[in-house]
């Protein structure tokens, strides 16, 4: 058994729960002794099945209570350890990139300032979606440049370097992992692994169902499901989950904290309108693009306008990796 931690004053840091756990262990040992004394009585003529059944039910209830206490205690221990590590990382001095602020520090600042994007409200969710849609495209374009030696569009919308897949992914990660922001990294990894895989599969299925096209296909990779997701990229999602909630999200929240309440609300709703319009126009443009590939002529002046504004050359430049099902 580990020795109790002693502070700089020589005082042992022993919580009441540790003292009670020692008492509980004594109680368990005493119960074991009582049961060993009871077992021979079960062979006597005066044996009562009702008494044994009552003891069994009592032990089952005790086991359930102990299990709940174990889970809750492990959760408390994990959170305390994670908060401590986050604060230690925040205090580390780094030359190139400063350490991310601890999530606990962000929570405290948001509560003290009564900020418009406090916690995980609608404003924070929308801003995360916008920022994620932009950042995801930039990161993937840079990755393409490093990997292939050239820049290629990774946009998912016709106006601007935005891709709602990344925005939805960032939002889903934030919503699902936010409650675990002050917990150990392993929870964020599992959450990112599952959430990212589900979002990626749903987006791929939805795109093919609505437009008959695919923007990615993992059929050539091992452990894939219908080519929509695969183990390798699911692991990447898990790593991203840890990186997101422990590093990227607190940095983003710190930047959002600097936006004044009144201006922030106006900017958020203006961006929301822009993204809705952008998404609708993009859907119309992709739909008409798929029709042109099938040789369908425009049926009215509206579709003629779409053909003029979004010809094949422009669409191929925006959606460089899109493939339509035959």
DSSP output for 14-39: --HHHHHHHHHHHHHHHHHHHHHHHG
Among residues 228, 237, 224, 230, the alpha carbon closest in space to that of 192 is found at 237
What pLDDT score was predicted for residue 210?
81
Query: What are the pLDDT digits (tens) for 316-325?
Result: 999 887 777 6
Cβ neighbours, 10 Å, residue 54: 11
Least confident of 30-44, 142-156, 289-303: 142-156
Query: What are the pLDDT digits (tens) for 155-175?
Result: 999 999 999 988 988 898 899
Separation between Cα atoms, residue 214 and residue 211, nearest integer Å:
9
Report, as an integer, the average pLDDT of 10-18. 74
Separation between Cα atoms, residue 211 and residue 207, nearest integer Å:
6
Cβ neighbours, 10 Å, residue 101: 19
- ∠ CA 98-104-108, nearest 5°, is 105
Cβ neighbours, 10 Å, residue 242: 19
Please provide the average confidence, as pLDDT, over all residues in the chain.
Answer: 89
What pLDDT score was predicted for residue 273?
97
Separation between Cα atoms, residue 257 and residue 247, nearest integer Å:
16
Residue 203: both structure tokens together: 């987006």
What pLDDT score was predicted for residue 150?
83
State whether residue 224 is helix, strand or coil: strand
Burial call 137-154: b when 16+ CB within 10 Å, e when fewer: beebbeebeeeeeeeebb
| Residue 9: band (very low, low, confident or very high) from pLDDT cuts 50, 70, 90 | low
Report, as an integer, the average pLDDT of 276-305. 94
* HEC string for 225-257: ECCCEEHHHHHHHHHHHHHHHHHHHHHHHHHHH
| Residue 10: band (very low, low, confident or very high) from pLDDT cuts 50, 70, 90 | very low
What are the residues whose beta carbons fall under 8 Å from the beta carbon of 197, sequence distance 6 or more? 229, 233, 234, 237
Cβ neighbours, 10 Å, residue 62: 13
CB 271 within 8 A of CB 134: no
Least confident of 50-64, 119-133, 143-157, 259-273: 143-157
Provide the sign of the torsion angle of the four alpha carbons 203, 209, 211, 214, taken in this order.
positive
Query: What are the pLDDT digits (tens) for 76-134?
Result: 999 999 999 989 888 887 667 788 899 999 999 999 989 999 999 999 999 999 999 99
Least confident of 60-64, 122-126, 165-169, 286-290: 165-169
The torsion angles phi and psi of 323, rounded to 5 degrees, stand at -125, 135
- Residue whose entry in the numeric block shows the structure tokens 């300032």: 113
Query: What are the pLDDT digits (tens) for 119-129?
Result: 999 999 999 99
Separation between Cα atoms, residue 161 and residue 102, nearest integer Å:
30
Cα dihedral value 149, 153, 154, 159, nearest 10? 160
């Amino acid at each position: 058994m580990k020795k109790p931690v002693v502070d700089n004053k020589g005082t042992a840091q022993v919580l009441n729960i540790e003292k009670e756990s020692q008492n509980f262990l004594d109680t368990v040992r005493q119960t074991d002794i009582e049961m060993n004394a009871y077992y021979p009585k079960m062979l006597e003529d005066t044996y009562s099945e009702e008494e044994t059944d009552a003891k069994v039910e009592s032990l089952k209830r005790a086991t359930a209570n102990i299990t709940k206490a174990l889970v809750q205690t492990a959760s408390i221990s994990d959170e305390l350890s994670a908060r401590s590590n986050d604060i230690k990382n925040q205090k580390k001095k780094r030359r190139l990139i400063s350490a991310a602020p601890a999530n606990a520090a962000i929570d405290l600042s948001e509560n003290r300032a009564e900020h418009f994007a406090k916690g995980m409200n609608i404003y924070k969710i929308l801003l995360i979606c916008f920022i994620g849609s932009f950042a995801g495209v930039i990161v993937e374009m840079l990755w393409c440049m490093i990997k292939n030696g050239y820049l290629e569009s990774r946009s998912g919308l016709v106006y601007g370097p935005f891709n709602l897949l990344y925005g939805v992914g960032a939002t889903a990660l934030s919503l699902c992992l936010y409650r675990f922001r002050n917990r150990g990294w392993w929870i964020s990894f599992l959450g990112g692994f599952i959430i990212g895989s589900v979002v990626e599969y749903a987006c791929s299925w939805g795109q093919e169902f609505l437009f008959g096209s695919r923007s990615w296909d993992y059929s050539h990779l091992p452990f894939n499901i219908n080519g929509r997701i695969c183990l390798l990229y699911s692991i990447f999602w898990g790593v991203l989950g840890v990186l997101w909630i422990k590093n990227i999200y607190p940095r983003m929240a710190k930047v959002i904290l600097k936006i004044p309440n009144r201006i922030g609300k106006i900017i958020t709703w203006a961006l929301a309108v822009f993204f809705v319009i952008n998404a609708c126009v993009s859907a119309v443009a992709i739909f008409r693009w798929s029709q042109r590939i099938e040789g369908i002529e425009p049926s009215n002046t509206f579709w003629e306008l779409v053909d003029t504004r979004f010809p094949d050359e422009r669409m191929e430049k925006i959606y460089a990796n899109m493939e339509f099902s035959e």
